[in-house]
Amino acid sequence: MGQLNIAKDIIAVYQRHGWKLRRVLLSPSLRDELAQQDDDVFGDAVLLDSEFDALWFARPSHGEREAWELRLVSEQAYALFEAFEANETEEEREEVRRELEHRMRDYALQSKA
């Protein structure tokens, strides 16, 4: 199964559970695969160049918190999760998201080796 089809399946599962796709980390190969498609797979999510393929989802959480989950685009499920407090600044949130992306990159590149 191609990366784009795996991504579509992941998105469908997350959306059924109330998650919204916010960002897409695209490797050059997935970007090429996406360019050959006519459908709007990722909707209004922000597309970002990356060394690996992953999807950022978000949804409201308990106590005015916001949950974010970074899901690797692979048949083997692997995700990193963080819940942000309402009083955290966007700068603080972005720093945590970058750290999660670094952890995901380490995992994804190690898995390919």
Residue 41, classified by CB atoms within 10 Å of its CB into exposed (0-12), middle (13-18) or buried (19+), is: middle
DSSP designation for 45: P
Q: What are 66-91's pLDDT values in tens digits?
A: 999 999 999 999 999 999 999 999 99
Q: What is the pLDDT of residue 2?
A: 87
Taking the model in full, what pTM does it have?
0.93
pLDDT for 113 beyond 70:
no
Mean pLDDT of 47-60: 96
Backbone angles phi, psi at 28, to 5 degrees: -55, -40
pLDDT at 109: 87
Q: What is the rounded distance in angstroms from the CA atom of residue 72 to the CA atom of residue 54?
A: 4
Which residues are CB-contacts of 77 (< 8 A; sequence separation ≥ 6)?
Answer: 71
Query: Tell me: the pLDDT tens digits for 1-46?
Result: 689 999 999 999 999 999 999 999 999 999 998 888 877 899 999 9
Q: Any residues with CB less than 8 A from the CB of 83 and at least 6 apart, and which?
A: 61, 65, 66, 67, 68
Per-residue pLDDT tens over the stretch 63-72 = 889 999 999 9
Q: Outline where the chain has alpha helix (H).
A: 3-16, 28-35, 90-112
Helix (H, G, I), strand (E, B) or coil at 63: helix
pLDDT score, position 1 = 65
